[in-house]
Chain A
């Protein structure tokens, strides 16, 4: 039983921990398109477009970056044109389309002596002190001699276009140069013709996203934390930029579309909340959306994985009540739903597989709607629903209900309907109800309760529900995300 509880408690502590130092702008979400349809053939009869396609496809196949590759041609200088006010200089902000081609100039500008190719990269500053790439175009110097061939450099044939293309596409995704390791992004062209482990590691690092920082799981409810010197910074998290503010990173998994309310409150620091999707694209940032310096994000999110950054400002504001940029905070996650919400993936005490699903919620209106927050004086029900594995239906079994308080004290409900300390139970799996299992088991964890009558005015309780079979009383099927009850004034 203790293992059951511990598995859920420990799961919330940490998912992973990385620490990389990378610089450079990058594409939001780690994806973009590229028109590769350069017309013509090399001296050896190979199509330039095929070489471009292979170059970009190799980055697609071997790194987290995701190119949508388009066979069509797009002039890389489209959107740039000679300016009436600055003769010869290209003008225009581009066309938001990524293209590539040979040209005798860079959109009207001389390449200059010894220049083979130029990649033009447009970036836009983002709210996290870094830059998003918004467009990238490659212009190959048509005055230079290129061919497409394998093997070592052949001065009689000119420069191998495929290698230059592979290198330039690396610049398109935001890769810089490698100076020591064997790499296609090395500053010297050589006999390498494919991406090397260092290239792949670099791109992976660049597009690794929020997992550059330690990530903790965020369940609905309340967690306390603190931003302290030495914590991860936004600069580390995004792999560059100027935002050195401290941040803790939480991962929120939603099984279905859910209206979510996130609050970050503190009595000392100026809190900032950042919501990202699974590809680390910023969905919303809030500084003072809550009361005072507290932050709040309210948003309906589709099912999926999200990152919540508990963040602050880069420097203290001097406000006496909440002007610090470090210190303790409280992060709460609430939901509003018309139905019970999923309680994570199923798991079991002994590793047995099942297709059981679990859901739960708190209602103050008899099940018309669900949330996880109640006031101390509101009357509420905490409900759970187990969809039993078909193989277990109709068999003699038992239900288990447990509650974990904020101080991590664990209570289980006994057959009399009382929550008693786990330590007072002698059975490995202290059951709540013994019964023949149906297809669906609706469980009332707390019925018509009022928090203040339990002495609860500002707290968070996590509930777990599970079931087992009499034929194997030491096995328990349950869920990995608790059903939360948040009591706050």
Chain B
């Protein structure tokens, strides 16, 4: 089969099978106040999913002195939702202004120059973190060992595959805090093992997301 000729549904099942093989991989990431979500839930709760690049980050006080951070993105491709403009600004609670910093524990701000996939929960409601499940809705595009772009978690762990292993609603079985990676996102903890399993190619990740968006 030639690359790019398979349907999203086939890609999904291939990825799912691949994921199952690696599901026992241990995860290591951050977050404590955020509960685990499945990757399907992350997709479902996102009003907008886009591939983008961070153009600028600015933290400032408002008139009363509260600190928050505005992140300007260049929108490269929309995977879910409607957003016609080529740029988008998201607001995050916290940031550093001068010598003062407001830190929201576990909130990871996008950095200038980073490229990635961003799963935005709401474009209208002010949120502590506009990304679904915080780091669970934040992926980075970084070079793989072969120089080609690959997909990594917000904590720079290689993403080996994504799937929708659980469809349980987020309100049920909330017995785990998030480790910064949604259930169904298979990551590789050790960079030393990258030679054995390369991070997911960007196009494969996009196909997987689109397949989940189209899930009935």
Contact = CB atoms under 8 A, between A and B. Distances in A.
A153 interface: yes
Contact of A92 (B32, B41, B64, B129): B64
A121 B102 contact: yes
Contact of A109 (B36, B45, B126): B126
B105 A84 contact: no
In this complex, the member of A159, A167, A177 whose beta carbon has the largest number of chain B beta carbons within 10 angstroms is: A177
Nearest to B62: A83
A117 B128 CA distance: 11
A118 B31 CA distance: 11
Contacts of A144: 174
Contacts of A80: 66
B105 A121 contact: yes
B115 interface: no
A90 interface: yes
Contacts of A164: 33
In this complex, the member of B30, B34, B104, B126 whose beta carbon has the largest number of chain A beta carbons within 10 angstroms is: B126
Interface of B: 28-37, 41, 45, 61-66, 68, 91, 93-94, 99-105, 121-122, 125-134, 136, 170, 172-180
A108 interface: yes
B91 A89 contact: yes
A109 B127 contact: yes
A189 B179 CA distance: 10
A118 B127 contact: no
Given A89-B66, A92-B64, A109 B177 contact: no
Given A92-B65, A93-B65, A110-B126, 16 more contacts: A83-B63, A89-B68, A91-B65, A111-B128, A113-B41, A113-B133, A115-B35, A116-B34, A116-B177, A118-B33, A122-B101, A123-B102, A124-B101, A155-B173, A159-B174, A187-B180
Nearest to A154: B175
Interface of A: 25, 80-81, 83-93, 106, 108-125, 131, 144, 153, 155, 158-159, 164, 167-168, 171, 177, 179-180, 185, 187-189
B58 to A, nearest CB: 13
B109 to A, nearest CB: 14
Contact of A187 (B30, B64, B125, B127): B30
Contacts of A158: 174
Instruction: Kindly list the 6 A-B residue pairs having the minimum CB-CB distance in the complex, ordered from nearest.
Output: A88-B126, A91-B64, A125-B99, A93-B65, A91-B66, A114-B35
A108 B129 CA distance: 12
A119 B33 contact: yes
Contacts of B170: 113-114
Contacts of A119: 33, 104-105
B91 A189 contact: no
Nearest to A84: B63
Nearest to B131: A112
A76 to B, nearest CB: 13
A111 B61 CA distance: 21
A214 B204 CA distance: 53
Contact of A171 (B32, B34, B173): B32
Given A113-B45, A113-B133, A125-B99, A179 B63 contact: no
B35 A108 contact: no
B127 A110 contact: yes
A85 B131 CA distance: 22
A310 B177 CA distance: 44
A115 B34 contact: yes
Given A83-B64, A114-B133, A115-B34, A188 B126 contact: no
Nearest to A172: B105
Given A119-B105, A155-B172, A112 B126 contact: no
Contacts of A111: 127-128
Given A91-B65, A171-B105, A122 B100 contact: yes
25 contacts: A83-B63, A85-B63, A86-B62, A86-B68, A90-B66, A91-B62, A91-B65, A92-B66, A109-B127, A109-B128, A110-B127, A110-B128, A113-B121, A114-B170, A117-B33, A118-B104, A125-B99, A131-B101, A167-B32, A168-B32, A177-B31, A177-B32, A185-B32, A187-B29, A187-B30
Contacts of A125: 99-101
A158 B32 CA distance: 16
Contact of A113 (B105, B126, B132, B173): B132
A455 to B, nearest CB: 53
A112 B132 contact: yes
Given A112-B129, A113-B170, A115-B33, A123 B103 contact: yes
Contacts of A118: 33, 104-105, 128
Nearest to A189: B177
A121 B126 CA distance: 19
In this complex, the member of A93, A106, A187 whose beta carbon has the largest number of chain B beta carbons within 10 angstroms is: A187
In this complex, the member of B29, B36, B129, B130 whose beta carbon has the largest number of chain A beta carbons within 10 angstroms is: B129
A109 B129 CA distance: 9
Contacts of A187: 29-32, 177-180
Contact of A114 (B29, B37, B65): B37
A80 B65 CA distance: 9
